[in-house]
Structure 1
Amino acid sequence: MATQGAQGSGMAANPSIGFIGFGELGECLAVGLRGAGVAQLLALDLLESPVKRGWVLDRVARTGVELLPEPAGLVRCDVVLACVPPGAALDAAHRCAPWLRPDAPYVDLASVDGDTKRALAGVVGGAGRLFAGGAVTGVPAESLHRVPMLVSGPGAERAIALLAPLGMRLDPCGADPGAAAAIKILRSLLAKGLEALYVEALGAARREGLAERVLDSFCAFLDARPARETARLLVCSHVVHAARRADEMNLCAAALERAGRSPVLARAVAAVMERSAAGGVRERLGARPPATLEEALEVLAAAGAAP
């Protein structure tokens, strides 16, 4: 059992940390936590595949983590990090939650949506245990246990109290167990959308021998101001310039087609612009850009031009 705080607060000074699932994420966290001085790291493997079992055994050997033979061993943990694949998250919660101590938070780090995290909270809470929905927002291979995470739900405060002193970076997102996952999923639309835009635009620019020039020009635009100000600038100006920008995107799509490229994103961006223009957002403000991002989003929502 982990040692108690010097003041008798019930807080583990060097907590025992358990992993449910021990893939790449679990290994990265374990390596970092071992380096941070955590003495007791335990892992439970729920995979039935002999090949994947072999991978887990290799990771356990590399990290010196103790492999638990069954879920009952989780009672030894002060906090449990569930690092299973998305499709296995509910099964893992059903099988493991009853074996946790009531004060040991179950932190689910599976990449699932907010509704699934809420369902997981129901399973873990139904067993009388603390649940925290987690979402990894960085690269574990680079940052190990210091990888940024969002965390929400009834067990979030306890999880942060146990893990933050070890160097883990957990950003609280409120009492809703699905909030952290929802933030990550919608954030991913921005990140992956930009990724896809780079692929489509730079691929087309390369055919023209202009990839570096296009990238230099765009990066100069991005570097001109803080990222949050760029978001405000684009969304606020979108309200009054959506129609013109839709025309520009349709021209871009036509150019891509002439070059033999499929303008998937160019057409999609044009459709977003056209939806805003059709909602009459420009007329609602008398062709005056809103001053704040919140005002812009409110106008777009009222016009049915945003979700």
Structure 2
Amino acid sequence: MTKLGFIGFGEAAASICSGLKNVANVDVFSYDIVLTMESHRERTLALMREQHVNPCDTLAELINNTDIIFCLTSAKFAIGIAQDVATIANKPVTYIDLNSASPGLKKEIAKVFEYTAVQFLDGAVMESVPPNKHRVPILLSGANAHETAVILTNCQMKTSAISEHVGDASSIKITRSIFVKGFTGLLIETLQAASKMNILPHITDSINQTFKNFDLEQLAEKYIPRTAIHANRRAFEMQEAMMMMEELSIRNDLSKATKEKLEYIASKELDVIYQHEVPASFQVVIQKLNEINEEDLEDEKV
């Protein structure tokens, strides 16, 4: 029996667990700080039970019951959580940080676990989790990446060990994010303008003709609705990308612009407007952003 643990039980962890519940010889546990909050506890417990996940009331309980732990919270909390785990862990356990963070931050986390019983691995989630569930591609790097990838593959997870060096997995993830998040920001602005001028079909047809086998509307559906509810997290991811590029002595002008665009979207609380549910289509999001832009311009005139 392989015992897996998840720190954080948000969308990503819940989606992975929804696939793992159908895998034999896998026992899943999870600890989330919201279990300590009366307003969120019952809803989270119900979701955990639905995915056949054993809830843990403390971090120590999670560590004592598992062999491999995934951290899926936010990069901004990653160091603090790692420090808590390092303090509590009194048995060998593999700890995989799957948060979107710069390779530099992952190396800092690795230092936290030096001289402890914890084996740290850098992990990177390479596709959207909900549609892929436990089969979402995950890259691993670190001292025992290969051995851990074999164990997780036996759990029907889609993991690949790329090197023995912490930071390599995140280097690939964050570099890819420069393109994906930047492309999404450019896509949003293009479609906002096209929608407002009632020329959207002409623009999509023209771009599709320019780039053969390129379906602009399909890509818009893939990236824009989810950006509406995850803009804050993605802006933080671009901050990590900017830090990485600074470390490489590369100008990060476009990454900075992408971060600012995502921060603007996050400030408009579309996640609250859509009740943390993915909007029905990219057109809905574009229309809402255009309405918000018009309201902003009106406010500036006052």
Relative to the length of structure 2, the TM-score reads 0.63
2:144 equivalent to 1:131: no
Aligned length: 215
| Structure 1 position 69 matched with structure 2 position 25 | no
The corresponding residue for 2:39 is 51
SS in 2 for 1:126: coil
Q: 2:164 aligns with which of 159, 164, 175?
A: 175
In the alignment, the residues of structure 2 paired with residue 80 and residue 164 of structure 1 have an alpha-carbon distance, to the nearest angstrom, of 15
AA paired with 1:176? H
Spell out, residue by residue over 1:202-241, the C-alpha distance to the aligned partner (whole angstroms, 9 max, x if none): 332334443222222222333369xxxxxxxxxxxxxxxx
| Contact 2:89 2:118 (C-alpha < 8 Å) held by counterparts | no
User: Paired residue for 2:153?
Assistant: 164
Q: Within 5 Å, which residues of 2 pair with 1:1-307?
A: 14-47=1-34, 48-73=36-61, 74-97=63-86, 98-99=88-89, 101-102=91-92, 104-223=93-212
Deviation of 1:29 (Å):
1.3
Question: Which deviates the most, 70-79 or 132-141?
Answer: 70-79
Cα distance between partner residues in 2 of 1:84 and 1:117: 14
Deviation for aligned residue 1:147: 0.9
**Over aligned residues, Cα RMSD in angstroms?**
2.6
In the aligned structure 2, how far is the partner of 1:100 from the partner of 1:83?
Answer: 22
Are the aligned partners of 1:131 and 1:156 in contact in 2 as well (CA < 8 Å)? no
Query: Whole-Å Cα distance in 2 between the matches of residues 215 and 172 of structure 1?
Result: 39
> Is the 8 Å Cα contact of residues 106 and 166 (structure 2) preserved in structure 1?
yes
Q: Helix, strand or coil: the match of 1:93?
A: helix
Distance 1:115 1:212, change over 3 A: same
Distance in 2 separating the partners of 1:143 and 1:116:
27
Give the SS at the match of 1:16: strand
- Rounded to whole Å, the distance in 2 between the matches of 1:204 and 1:23 is 34
- Aligned twin of 2:239: none
SS of the equivalent of 1:167 reads: coil
Higher-RCO chain (CA-CA 8 Å, sequence separation at least 6): 2
Distance 1:208 1:147, change over 3 A: same
CA distance in 2, matches of 1:49, 1:222: 50
**Aligned partners of 1:18 and 1:81 also within 8 Å:** yes
Instruction: Give yes or no for contact 2:26–2:155 (8 Å, CA) kept in 1.
Output: no
Gaps of 5+ in 1: 1-13, 226-263, 269-307
Q: Distance in 1 between matches of 2:132 and 2:213?
A: 28
Percent of aligned pairs with the same amino acid: 27
Q: Look up the equivalent residue of 1:17 and give its one-letter code.
A: L
- Structure 2 CA distance for aligned equivalents of residues 62 and 172 of structure 1: 31
Q: Structure 1 segments of 4 or more deviating over 4 A?
A: none
Runs of 5+ unmatched residues, structure 2: 215-252, 258-302
Tell me the distance in 2 between the aligned counterparts of 1:203 and 1:45.
38
Match of 2:264 in 1: none
1:45 touches 1:53 (CA, 8 Å); kept in 2? no
Q: Which amino acid aligns with 1:71?
A: L
Aligned in 2, Cα 1:196/1:71: closer, same or farther, shift over 3 Å?
A: closer
Change (3 A) 1:186 1:37: same
User: Offset at 1:100?
Assistant: 6.0
- In structure 2, C-alpha distance between the alignment counterparts of 1:214 and 1:181, rounded to whole Å: 35
Larger CA deviation: 73-82 vs 189-198 = 73-82
Q: Is contact 1:80-1:106 (8 Å) kept?
A: yes
For 1:2-38, what per-residue CA distance to the aligned partner results, in whole angstroms no more than 9, with x for missing partners?
xxxxxxxxxxxx3111112222222111121111224
Closer/same/farther in 2, CA of residues 126 and 218 from structure 1, 3 Å limit: farther
Structure 1 position 112, deviation (Å): 1.9
